[in-house]
Chains A and B, each alone.
Chain A
């Protein structure tokens, strides 16, 4: 068995105490939510915190509530399993359910949290390896070194963001609520990711993700998430597409949002694809064009097991077409 390094552990009962602790400890501490991403990283010595600060003792972080004006507010510590079976989420945001159900396995969904999945560290075939394994090569950018083993001449870290929840929340235009000792701030999820594989989150030192707020659905709309992975369970996505589609009364596309995951260092929205559909009658041809645009926005590199970059890119296109087609059909929009 891989062993965890020796670490101290704290589980403060209030968010403000967590904030204080995190601002004191800075980089020496890591926030522990479900631990399904952090603890393996500690075992592999990708991360070597001296203190783990658990969020598990703060019940309010597990709240889910729906409000007609604000929408759905989901506490960051809500387990993916709780979200998956939450009647409010099921009623309004089918894509959230599909994405939560597609994460890892049932066991991981019970342990893993929404906040943890949003804050998932980026991954790479040369990074997610044991310390002794990594010692056969020069230290890579993601581990603080100066080389990339995937793109040898690159000076950028290409580690891939592989969360399933983020693309859905991007498509739903979710906002995050962040807490720190300096106070609260709120930002759009699209402003949360840096695109830098080394440090993928634009979170400030000492800041804690408290809740996710998903705007209320307006009128006739629906959402969907499709994920490509090698196996029907366990695997991270090699490509993932989330779409929100809204219809006018006469069956035209009122609004659309497309976001993709697992094909670059951040989940990204693809407005070029969504804009093609807005205000239009959704035809098969238009869907194909949108799928092509989405595929063009994907920039995977060879840093994940199970598929080549070109295949992953191709899958982005296919999943986009499938997602749009089924949503349009569900909303009674004519697809010809």
Chain B
């Protein structure tokens, strides 16, 4: 690590909006108020599958204070969705496909009136047969949820690299196991919200809680058949997304429609129940077959995954692609085959969620690797070291690793926890488990993926960074500011960031696929360097030196070999603007990696990401064998995210992903009633971990600067989370000798498995 020479990179920096958030000054969508603003509410279907024959809103419209009611029939445009090939949403629907699917929306002077109006709307439904289980939904004759999709198959993705059959023939040991990963909620602190405004000229502005304002614009102009130039989407402060706010949601369509219809600003804020009922992580049934040589070398692997899509596609094809793709990252697998299916059902929609398709197979594969290690009498850490991907590797699927410190992460994390000694401890009901993983830094699988940043230097030396990258609480605004601070040698307090506004900032795909620091950061660096080059030229003239010898640091611009020849950054800015005929100090940067390829349409071969992160996670747990309760004692992470930009943000990602991983492993599960209705749409009944469940997290930085990432940085937001769940599963096995293959690992499952084990072990 060479961060000693940096002024800002690699140093702990509070978030630039931290004070505003801590004091409550930061404006989230719910805080925004416009004159004459109306409040909107959505009416959800009480049936899982029903055609809307007619909506009679006359009683609602007669209620004092009600300004408009819109229904699926009022949506004039085309279907929208994340992927052009899978567009299946309309915002307000004429055919409800899950309980809660919005069929109408109301605008009223206040929320009480809007709620009362909902009760006065009569909807005449033709109830259709519904199907809730993906396996049932795939059968011939099952109810068809979207006419275009036979047997409800919305995505099927297949890889076949190398020669899997030949690979398995070479193996000394092969295991076949089934796993199930349950469905969980993003549980973002901030519920979804939108404020829509329509001016007299018909120009629309949306302030909304989103990870991807440009995606929202693309979808809404399609749905409502309006020109792109007539709609501006601005991301407000966002209280967490985790993938759930990566696509357009019905309230955004409804709010726009109601603002157009009433000519008044209109706000919709989701209740917690409505919030949970929008998106969730896909449950997956996973069949895993892995074969190894005696020395632990993986020779072949096959996965078959069946995922529940819920009522709409959302990110289905990307998710199923990721489930296979990410299996290729951590280990050298010479022969790999994968069949992934995602199936529509009449339940709420599954979509992107932190790790996006990687978490479920990672849980399966990492669990199975421990089972294999035991079968062949090998330490599970050694098995992973034996197969770990290395810098310079190209996988059979075409992924290429320009940097990779996985081996080091295994070595350092096992050393840090005292792995060998702790694995040997017996009779304590304490155990320790390991898992590895890796993730993309932005997967290039759709047309436009570049990011852009513009930088303006003001005459006093203050700097405005205008970026398309969307800060959703992860801190990308601060990261961008840090890059600029380092380049221009000015403190973060002199930098403002304007981000994620379709009208004023460069276009950007959005915050997902762990792409923001990698893409947006590189774009910001290019813009900063353009500004720096311009100003260095002027400084060279003023200081009678060469531009290459000019250094920017501590708000001063000086000659490298003679720092006494200097000019304050602010003075230089003024001089740069004023010299000669004057000029604007504006830098522009746009960036996408050039070492990537689109995955081949047929084979899916291709290097989809500029670089890849790698991580090892070690969990220590204690199991109460009487109650079956599991306590996570500690989590230790060896993470290769390249050069760490801000240790505080990176620790935040680690702490957050550990909490989310504990929830996924042990506590959380969205439950559905016999009518497909979500049973536990509240944070009382959907059990995310509290501080009481979260252990101390030790994060070991094991990365080296990546040759492509900005200042050598790679992703950390998602790659960490995917290893928490299997590390806990493996630790439980090490503690009490039971292997739970269906998540979440509830105390009852542990007790049942302990009982079965006792019975098996009886002579």
A88: Cβ under 8 A from any B Cβ: no
B677/A136 in contact, CB under 8 A: yes
How far, in angstroms, from A228 to B118 measured CA to CA in the complex? 40
A133 close to B681 (CB less than 8 A): yes
Q: In whole Å, how far is B121's beta carbon from the nearest beta carbon of chain A?
A: 12
A232 near B692 with CB under 8 A, answer: yes
Interchain pairs with CB closer than 8 A, number: 64
Do the beta carbons of B112 and A233 come within 8 Å of each other?
Answer: no
| B226 interfacial by beta-carbon distance below 8 Å | no
**Contact, CB under 8 Å: B626 / A130:** no
Chain A residues engaging chain B, CB cutoff 8 angstroms: 1-3, 6, 125, 130, 132-133, 135-137, 228, 230-235, 305-308, 311, 314-315, 318
Residue contact A133 to B748, C-beta cutoff 8 Å: no
Contact among B627, B679, B690 with A233 in the assembled complex (CB-CB below 8 Å): B690
User: Are A311 and B747 within 8 A (Cβ)?
Assistant: yes
Query: Which of A2, A125, A231 has its CB near the most chain B CB atoms (within 10 A)?
Result: A231
Docked-complex contact A306 and B118, CB < 8 angstroms: no
Cβ of B747 and Cβ of A3 under 8 Å apart?
no
In the complex, A96 Cα to B690 Cα: how many Å?
Answer: 24
Kindly list chain B residues whose C-beta atoms are within 8 Å of the C-beta of A305: 671, 679-680, 685, 687
Give A3 to B108 CA distance when docked, in angstroms. 15
Residues from chain A with a CB closer than 8 A to the CB of B671 are: 305
A23 to B713, CA, bound (A): 70
Let me know if B675 and A136 touch, CB within 8 A.
yes
A125 to B47, CA, bound (A): 19
A306 to B748: give the CA distance in the assembly, Å: 10
Query: With the chains together, A1 CA to B690 CA distance in Å?
Result: 21
| Cβ contacts B613-639/A at 8 Å (1 or 0 each) | 000000000000011000000000000
The count of chain B contact residues (Cβ–Cβ below 8 Å) is: 34
List the B side residues contacting A132 at CB < 8 Å.
Answer: 44, 46, 118
CB-CB under 8 A from B747, the residues of chain A are: 307, 311
Question: How long is the Cα–Cα vector from A308 to B749 in the complex, in angstroms?
Answer: 11
For the complex, give the distance between the alpha carbons of A136 and B746 in Å: 29
Query: A318 vs B684: C-alpha distance in the bound complex, in angstroms?
Result: 25
Bound together, the chains give a CA A157 to CA B690 distance in angstroms of: 32
Q: A6-B112, A234-B684, A235-B687 are in contact. Are A125 and B692 (CB under 8 A)?
A: no
B47: A residues at CB distance < 8 A? 136
| Cα–Cα distance between A142 and B675 once the two chains are bound (Å) | 20
* Residue on B nearest A232 in the bound complex, by CB: B692
Q: Which residues of A contact B691 (CB under 8 A)?
A: 233
B702 in contact (CB, < 8 A): no
Q: How far is the CA of A29 from the CA of B760 in the complex (A)?
A: 60
CB <8 Å contact, A232 and B690: yes
Q: In whole angstroms, what is the CA distance A135 to B47 when docked?
A: 10
Chain B: which residue is nearest A321 at the CB level? B626
Q: Which residues of B contact A231 (CB under 8 A)?
A: 667, 687, 689-690, 692-693
29 contacts between A and B (CB under 8 A): A1-B30, A3-B115, A125-B685, A132-B118, A133-B681, A136-B46, A136-B47, A136-B99, A136-B677, A137-B675, A228-B627, A231-B689, A231-B690, A231-B692, A232-B692, A232-B693, A233-B690, A233-B691, A233-B692, A234-B690, A235-B687, A305-B671, A305-B685, A305-B687, A307-B746, A307-B747, A307-B748, A311-B751, A315-B627
B740 interface residue (CB < 8 Å to A): no
A93 to B: closest C-beta gap in Å = 25
Chain B residues within an 8 Å CB radius of A137: 675
* Contact, CB under 8 Å: B687 / A230: yes
Taking a contact as CB atoms under 8 Å apart, the answer to whether B269 and A311 are in contact is no
Q: Is the CB of B692 within 8 A of A2?
A: no
Q: How far, in whole Å, are A336 and B690 apart by their CA atoms in the complex?
A: 38
Q: Give B637 Cβ to nearest chain A Cβ, in Å.
A: 23
Chain A residues positioned under 8 Å from B379 (CB to CB): none
Q: Is B273 an interface residue (CB 8 A)?
A: yes
> Could you tell me which residues of chain B, from 215 to 269, have a CB within 8 Å of some CB in chain A?
269
Contact A230 B692 (CB under 8 A): no
Q: How far is the CA of A152 from the CA of B184 in the complex (A)?
A: 28
**Neighbouring A residues of B269 by C-beta, 8 Å:** 1
Q: CB distance B693 to A1 under 8 Å? A: no
Question: What are the 7 A-B residue pairs with the smallest beta carbon separation, nearest first?
Answer: A232-B692, A136-B46, A233-B690, A305-B685, A311-B748, A230-B687, A233-B692
Question: In whole angstroms, how far apart are the Cα atoms of A76 and B675 in the complex?
Answer: 42
- Bound-state CA distance A6–B113 (Å) is 11
Closest Cβ neighbor of B687 among chain A residues? A230
- The minimal Cβ–Cβ distance linking B669 to chain A, given in whole angstroms, is 9
Within 8 A of A (CB), among B728-763: 746-748, 751
Which residues of chain B are within 8 angstroms of A232 by Cβ–Cβ distance?
690, 692-693
Q: Report if B496 contacts A (CB, 8 A).
A: no
Which residues from B are CB-within-8-Å of A307?
Answer: 746-748
Are A133 and B273 touching (Cβ within 8 A)?
Answer: yes
- With contacts A1-B269, A1-B271 known, is A308 near B748, CB below 8 A? yes
Q: Does B111 contact A (CB under 8 A)?
A: yes
Residues of the A chain whose Cβ atoms lie less than 8 Å from the Cβ of B115: 3
Instruction: Determine the chain A residues whose CB is within 8 A of the CB of B44 once the complex forms.
Output: 132
Alpha-carbon separation in the docked complex, A184 to B452 (Å):
75
A132 to B167, CA, bound (A): 55
A132 vs B101: C-alpha distance in the bound complex, in angstroms? Answer: 13
Closest to A317 in B: B626
Question: Nearest chain-B residue to A5 (Cβ)?
Answer: B112
Distance A314 CA – B754 CA, assembled complex (angstroms): 15
* Complexed CA–CA distance, A17 and B271 (Å): 37
Q: How far is the CA of A306 from the CA of B671 in the complex (A)?
A: 11
Query: A308 — which chain B residues lie within 8 A by C-beta?
Result: 748
